[in-house]
Structure 1
Amino acid sequence: MKRILVTGASGFVAKHLIGQLLAAGYSVRGTVRGQGKVPGIWSSVADLAPGHGGQLELVDADLLSEAGWSAAMADVDAVMHVAATIVAEEPRDPAVVVRPAVEGTERVLRFAHAAGITRVIMTSPIATVGYGHGHDRGIRTYSEADFTDLDGMKRSWAYCIGKTRAERAAWAFAEANAMALTTIHPGAILGPATDADTSISLGMVTGLLDGSTPAMPNIGFAVSDVRDVAAMHVAALQKPESIGQRYLCTSPYTHFKEVAVILRRAYPDYPVTLKTVPDWIVRLLALSGGPVRQIINDVGNEKHYDGRKGAALLGRSYRSPEEAILAAAESAIRLGLVKRKGA
């Protein structure tokens, strides 16, 4: 039985990934930063891979500290670097996001190399693909051949900066040290939450359902079902042809308003708005930072992502955006993250 190290074990993708790895017969060691989120991991594993909890070990390791990583890498056959720092609003100090992404990735790879581990699969969002290309209006389709050009970005975005620099550093390290690297690139990750500690991405669904989103920006995105994202990591591990490759894990472009229409149809008793905010107001709001600053690079244009290469690796079609949206909504309601109108 191979042992796989999964970094950031409390994350939305990581919990599904751990469940799929355990169900597939792997032994898993997951890293956590402190013990606060450990109960949620065990609860998720009990649901996703019942009877396989004995093959999971959780250890302390922080992306910004040397402590714990040598022990974490001991007797490991492959590393899945999934950990990420994601914030709801653009931070005043970009280093809050950039430093864990870049320094953390370099640390994980360095300790893996020291332990003799050569196989690494890394989650790297589409933020590392579709930005800085002078695409301000209209529709453009991106593929794995595209790499975000930070120098070409008109508006800074800490998450994009951190993840792009981290992926560049990973490929450079892999080339210099004969490491077999694969990167998986999801879009807006939706799908079923396994516990109340879930992804910021689900906020677009819960915000519509509980009415805390009174109007939507006029943008869209590539939706990725968390179950597909996790499955693509496992497929990359099992298929040697994935070594040295980037894979988009992206279903068709979905407009934010389409999300609202799907939710309104499925949950007519919830206060789901169909109102949108004019682009000029979004641009004005972005000047003061906050959550709007994180989407400003998508205002006025449509970024489509060609996920066919990833689907071929997966060996099947992606779950539809509607399935991912409704699964996210059902789980959020069941877990008490959304209350009915007037409740």
Structure 2
Amino acid sequence: MAEVLVTGGSGYIGSWCTLALLSAGFSVRTTVRDLEREPQVREMLRRGGADPGASLRVMRADLGADEGWAEAAAGCDAVLHVASPTLTQVPRTDDEMVRPAIDGTLRVLRAARDGGVRRVVMTSAIGAIAYGHPPRDTPFTERDWTNVDAGIAPYQKSKTLAERAAWDFVAGEPLELATVNPTGVLGPVLGPDYSPSLGSIARMLDGEMPALLKFATGYVDVRDVASLHLLAMTEPAAAGERFIATAGHSLWLRDVAAILRERLGERAAKVPTREMPLWVARGLARVNPQMRSLRALLGRDLDATSAKAERLLGWKARPIEDTITETAESLLALKK
């Protein structure tokens, strides 16, 4: 049975990738920074419908250190590099986020190369594609790269430079690479770790978002992100390619809020109905650290297309309206 390493097994996308691999019959190794999280990882997988038993090995490895990576990757057929460095506070400088992202990616790639891995699939982001550009009327594609010199937020800069470092690394190595670049990731919750986009849904439901910010982006179901990782890992045509993961066209936050109110009724009573004026939002973004990273997005539509993944790999995303509903249902159930 083929064995696959998933970095960041306790994370939102990592846990769903692990579930997809186990369901497809693979043995999985997954990394966590602290082995005390192993019971939590296994419990998350049970919530997702899997009881992995011996088919899963949880191993300690931290993106910020060399220890553990050689053992984790040795003998694996493929690596899904999903993990990303996390910060507990807003970075004071870009390098606080950028440098760990690049160094962590290169650690994983070196371990994969030295361990005889055939292909690495790296979880990048739409943040490496659609930021720092002037307004446009056409969707972003995999040919686009974020302009890191355009004053973008540290997170998008880190994703862009880490992905570029990965492509530069494999250019001189016998190692195949594919990247998956999701838009806003939504879907059922398995544990306390979930995506920033999902956090926005939670704040809407809880009434913590008094007004809706005006920007539009794509969204995609985490289960479809996981399935695209598996296709990028197994399909010969995926080697050397980037793949945007998004379901249909972008949605404004007001569209997301309308879907929640329509589908959930009274349970979405706290979801805001009004949109914050742009001039107010831009003013708040100057002084609010949490909003500062959204300043460049205000008033913008970051539409993107998954036509390449659909054409080359046969990938298809489920309707985003269903995903938004299941996201909300899952978050509400988590509180019970």
The amino acid of 1:225's aligned partner reads: D
Determine whether 1:258 maps to 2:245. Answer: no
Q: Distance in 2 between matches of 1:170 and 1:110?
A: 10
- Match of 2:205? 209
Deviations 1:14-58 (A, max 9, x none): 100000101101000000011353333111222335343320000
Q: Shift of residue 314 of structure 1?
A: 4.8
Aligned to 2:265: 268
* Corresponding residue to 2:225 among 223, 229, 232: 229
- Asked whether the 8 Å contact 1:90–1:158 carries over to 2, the reply is no
Give runs of aligned pairs for residues 179-328 of structure 1, distance below 5 A.
179-251=175-247, 252-269=249-266, 270-328=269-327
- Contact residue 74 and residue 111 of structure 2 kept, 8 A: no
Cα pair 1:140 1:302 within 8 Å, conserved: no
Are the counterparts in 2 of residues 224 and 249 from structure 1 also a CA contact under 8 Å? yes
Q: In 2, are the aligned partners of 1:222 and 1:305 still within 8 Å (CA)?
A: yes
Q: Give the CA deviation at 1:124.
A: 0.6
Shift of 1:311: 2.4
Point out 4+ residue stretches in structure 1 off by more than 6 angstroms: none
Aligned-partner Cα distance in 1 for 2:312–2:223: 14
- Please say which of residues 210-219 and 267-276 is displaced more in the overlay: 267-276
The Cα of 1:165 is off from its aligned counterpart by: 0.6
Q: For 2:320 and 2:206, locate their aligned partners in 1 and report how far apart those are by CA, in whole Å.
A: 20
Q: How far does the alpha carbon of each residue in 1:212-262 deviate from its partner, in whole angstroms, 9 at most, with x for none? A: 111111111100110000000001112111000011111211110111111
Match of 1:20 in 2: 20
Q: Give structure 1 stretches of 5+ with no counterpart.
A: none
* Equivalent position SS for 2:70: helix
Asked whether the 8 Å contact 1:44–1:194 carries over to 2, the reply is yes
SS in 2 for 1:116: coil
Aligned to 1:121: 121
- Structure 1 residues 85 and 216: CA distance shift in structure 2, 3 A: farther
Range with bigger deviation, 23-32 or 39-48: 39-48
User: What displacement does 1:195 show?
Assistant: 2.0
- SS at structure 1 position matched to 2:322: helix
User: Counterpart of 1:63?
Assistant: 63
Asked if the contact 1:129/1:142 (under 8 Å) is kept, the reply is yes
User: Which residue does the alignment assign to 1:106?
Assistant: 106
Instruction: After superposition, give the CA deviation of every residue in 1:139-195 in whole Å (9 maximum; x if it has no partner).
Output: 3411011111212x1x33101111111000000101111321000010000011112
Over aligned residues, Cα RMSD in angstroms? 1.8
The Cα of 1:99 is off from its aligned counterpart by 2.4
**Cα offset, 1:111, TM superposition:** 1.5
SS in structure 1 of the partner of residue 146 of structure 2? coil
Cα distance change, pair 275–85 in 1 and its aligned pair in 2 (3 A): farther
How big is each residue's C-alpha offset from its partner over 1:33-86, in whole Å with a ceiling of 9 and x where there is no partner? 113533331112223353433200000100000111111112211111000135
Greater RCO structure (CA 8 Å; 6+ sep): 1
Out of 181-190 and 256-265, give the one that drifted further. Answer: 256-265
Instruction: Give the C-alpha shift of residue 89 in structure 1.
Output: 6.6
User: Whole-Å Cα distance in 1 between the matches of residues 136 and 209 of structure 2?
Assistant: 26
The aligned length equals 333
Q: Distance in 1 between matches of 2:88 and 2:130?
A: 20
